[in-house]
Amino acid sequence: MKNVMPNGCVFGDNMRSAVDQPLTVDFDTFATTTEEGCDSMRPYMCEKSDCSICDTCVERVYNQFTSRVIDLELSSVSQILDGVTGFLGWKVLCKEVFEASNCKDVSILIAASTRNNFNFAKRPAAICAAIGECNAGDACNIISQSEDASNPRPMDFCTEDGTVDGTFLGSRNFAADLGDNECISDNDCNTGEFCKTSNATKSAFACDSITGIDESRPKGTCASLCEQPAILAAEQQALDLFPESIICNIPNGTQGECEEGFVCLDAVSACRTNFNCNASGGTALVTFDTCSGMCFNSRKELMSATFSNDGSSILAKLTTKAEVFDAPCSRVFDAETNSILGLAGCHVTPEARDTLVINLGGDATIDPLSDNAVMKTLRLNSDPDTPLVDFLQGSTYVNPNEDVLVSIPASEDLVPPVAVLTGPPTFRTPCSNEDFAAVFVESGASGDASGRPLQSRTWGFKNDQGCTFHDIDAGDDLLSALLKAANEDQLATIQMENDVLDGMAGGLHCITLSVTNFLGKASDAETSAEFSIQKLASETPPPTVRISTPSSTTIGAGVTLSASVDASSVCSGEKAEYQWRCVSANCPLLGGPGAGEEYQSSVLKELTPSDLVGRVPPGAEYKFELSARMRKGQGADETVSDAVQVKQSIKFIGDSIVAGFTRESPSGDVSRGREDPLVFHGTGSDPSDPSNSAQPMRFSFVC
C-alpha cells in the first residue's frame, strides 16, 4: 500500500485528526504536495504510525472497491474479481493500486463469501486486515467514509465503512442468524430435545470482530432426544434383526406359528421387540420386551447367485442372515471355484445379511456364457473355520443338492461397455520432401465397468453427415482393408501409414467402434465410439492438436489447460496460434459461455485455485474448447488459416477435508482419578472452501 508519499508525508489518521484541524484535501492533491509544503501545512503529517497506515488503507479500499461492490446491481464473483465497465475489479486494484503481496489469498476469501451475500467484499477494514494493513490489536480510530464525518471513531471490521458507526454487514452472533426451530447447539432447544445437525444443509454466519471474516456453523433443527442417531440405530437394528415375522410364542421345536421350513425355538438373548422411547422428562428413556421364541430356518444353504448389472461383482443369496465379515473368497469356496474367481474378496454387510457379495478383480475367469458348467458354478468349502456362518445360530452353510450356477441379469439392465477412440483430429499433406507421418487411432481407453478384458471389438465407418464414403468390404480402398483386417485380428490400434494416408481423399473420414463385454452386452448408441479425422488440403492448414488436460481435477489444485501439437503439422515459416473457451451453459470461467481471449502463441492456459474457489461448485462439469489456427508469411503476403476446434470436459471435484486435533487436546497418559473432564478440540480445513463459508464443518469424534 502506498501510504507514504515521496514528500515524506503520511496520509492517514494522524494527518487528518491531530489537534483540531482535520485535513480536507483529497489523496491525489496531498500526494503531490512538496515536502516543504507538507511540513508547513501539517507537521504531524510526517508522523508514520500503524493507525495512519490502516486509515489510509480503509479510505482507499472503501472509495475504490467496497463501495463499488455494494453498488453493483448483480454481484457475482466474476464482476467483483475481474471487474466490469468503469470498475477495475479486485485483481487489478490489489496488484496495481493497493500493491498487496497476497492478492490471490484475498481473492479466495472474496470468492468464498458468495454464499453470504459477498459481505467480506463489502467490508473495507476486513480487506485491509487481510492484506496486512490493519490490525484489531492496534485499536485505531479512523474517519468514516460513508457519512459526512470528520471525527475519528473506533474501528469495526464488520461494518460497511470500517467504524463502529457504520452499517453492520451480516450477523454479530450465530443466534441472530437462526430461524424458527433452528439451532447450532443443544442450548437453543427445549427440554427433551437436542440440536440435530446430521442432515444440515444450511449455515449460520457470524462476523469475526478481529478479522472481519464470516465464520459459519451448521444450522441444525431441534428434535426429540429419541431421534438421536444411537437410539434410532438401535431401534432399526432390532427391527432388522428381529422383525415380527420371526417372533413366535411357543418354542417347542415345531413349525407352530412359523412359515414353512421354519421351526420355533428358544429366542436368542439379544432378541428385542416392542421398542419404545420417551424423552418428555428431559432424558431419553428406552424400553423394550424380550422374546420368548424365534422362527429359525432349518436350511443353511447358498440359494442362488447372479452378476451385478456392471459385472464387477456376484450377489449370492443365502437362506438365512449371516454373520458380518470381510475376507478373501479363498476362505469361503472350494479350490475349483476359487480358480475361476481369481483373487476375489467376499463380504456380508449389516444392511444385507442374507446376501454374500463377491467382488471380482480383473483376473477373474468365471464365464456365465460358457458351455462348461464348471466355469460358472459356485461351491462352498467344508472348512469349519469359514467366516461364512449363520448370524443367530453360528452354524456353517452347506451346498444345496443342485449346483448354484451364476446367472446374468436381463440384457436391458446390464451396464454396456464403453468404446473410446483417440487420435489426431486432422492431418495435412506433408511438408516439402517429406512423407506422411504415421497416424494412430487408439481404442485402448475402451473398457468395461467390471475391469475385465473386452470380449470383442468391431471397427466400421460412418458414411453420412459429411463423412467420406467407405465400404469396409471394398478391396481397392486401403483404409477399408485396414479396418477389415483389424476386425479379423481384433486389433486395439489402427496404424495408418504413408500409402493409406496418401490414398485418402481430402475431407472428413469417420471411423466407428463398438465393443462387447464378457457378459455379452454390446455398447449401445451412447457408448459406442465415433472418431472423425480430416485430411486438410489448403495451402495454410491449421495445426493438429490434441487436448492433454486431465478429465477431472480438485478445486483446490486448479488445472492447466494444455494440448499436444503434432510437429509434422507445422512446417517451416508457419506459426500456430491458440484460443481457449469454456462453452458450457452457465460456465463461470474464462469470461463465461461464448467469451474468448485473444489468440496467443502458447497453448497453455492456467486456472488457479482463486479462479475456481467460490465460482465452481464441487461436482460441476464444464466443457472447454481449444481453437487452433496457423499464421504464415508477413505483411501483404500473410495468410491465416481457418481455425480447428477440439473439446474436452473437465469435472471439478471437491477437495478432501483434512482433520486433526489441536495442541490443546489431551494426549499420552492421563490419570484415571483426575476430576476435570478430557476436552478434545478438533480442527479441519477444506481447500475447496478455505473460509468455511460455502459449507460448514461438521466434526464426529469416535473412540
Tens of pLDDT, residues 512-534: 999 999 999 999 999 999 999 99
Q: Is 411 exposed, middle or buried (0-12, 13-18, 19+ CB in 10 A)?
A: exposed
If we measure between CA atoms, which residue out of 169, 140, 156 comes closest to residue 211?
A: 156
Give the tens place of pLDDT for each residue, 204-215. 889 998 999 998
If we measure between CA atoms, which residue out of 354, 369, 351, 363 comes closest to residue 307?
A: 369
In the block, residue with C-alpha cell 493409406: 500
**Rounded-to-integer distance, Cα 236 and Cα 594, Å:** 53
pLDDT at 397 over 60: yes
The mean predicted confidence, pLDDT, of the chain is: 86
Residues 364, 331: contact at Cβ < 8 Å? no
pLDDT (mean) for 490-499: 95
Looking at residue 582, its pLDDT comes to 93
pTM of the model: 0.54
In the block, residue with C-alpha cell 488459416: 641
pLDDT at 426 over 90: no
Q: Where are the alpha helices (DSSP H) in 10-141?
A: 13-17, 27-31, 35-41, 50-61, 67-71, 77-82, 90-92, 103-112, 124-130
Nine-digit cell string for 260: 414353512
Give the tens place of pLDDT for each residue, 97-134. 888 889 988 998 998 888 788 999 999 999 999 999 99
pLDDT (mean) for 442-469: 93
Q: Is 237 exposed, middle or buried (0-12, 13-18, 19+ CB in 10 A)?
A: middle
pLDDT (mean) for 564-573: 84
Provide the pLDDT confidence category of residue 322 given band limits of 50, 70 and 90.
very high
**Rounded-to-integer distance, Cα 369 and Cα 341, Å:** 15
The residue type of 403 is: D
Nine-digit cell string for 528: 459406442
CA-based max dimension of the chain = 112
Kindly report the number of other CB atoms within 10 A of residue 13's CB atom. Answer: 23
The residue type of 226 is: C
3-state secondary structure of 565: strand
If we measure between CA atoms, which residue out of 314, 343, 309, 315 comes closest to residue 328?
A: 343
Higher pLDDT pick, 95 / 325: 325
CA 689 to chain CA centroid, Å, is 12
pLDDT (mean) for 380-398: 92
pLDDT (mean) for 69-80: 81
pLDDT (mean) for 687-691: 68
pLDDT (mean) for 308-316: 96
Residues 470, 433: contact at Cβ < 8 Å? no
**Rounded-to-integer distance, Cα 476 and Cα 382, Å:** 64
pLDDT at 6 over 80: no
Provide the pLDDT confidence category of residue 680 given band limits of 50, 70 and 90.
confident
Q: Would you give the DSSP letter of residue 662?
A: -
**Rounded-to-integer distance, Cα 368 and Cα 377, Å:** 9
Q: Is 331 exposed, middle or buried (0-12, 13-18, 19+ CB in 10 A)?
A: middle
Looking at residue 691, its pLDDT comes to 62
Residues 517, 450: contact at Cβ < 8 Å? yes
Looking at residue 43, its pLDDT comes to 42
Looking at residue 36, its pLDDT comes to 56
The set of residues, in sequence order, having a beta carbon less than 8 Å from that of 236 and lying 6+ positions away, is none
pLDDT at 20 over 70: no
Higher pLDDT pick, 688 / 383: 383
Q: What are phi and psi of 293, to 5 degrees?
A: -145, 160
pLDDT (mean) for 179-189: 90
The residue type of 46 is: C
Looking at residue 347, its pLDDT comes to 97
Looking at residue 131, its pLDDT comes to 93
Q: What are phi and psi of 308, to 5 degrees?
A: -70, 165
Provide the pLDDT confidence category of residue 303 given band limits of 50, 70 and 90.
very high
**Rounded-to-integer distance, Cα 80 and Cα 591, Å:** 13
The set of residues, in sequence order, having a beta carbon less than 8 Å from that of 673 and lying 6+ positions away, is none
Provide the pLDDT confidence category of residue 146 given band limits of 50, 70 and 90.
low
**Rounded-to-integer distance, Cα 478 and Cα 499, Å:** 8
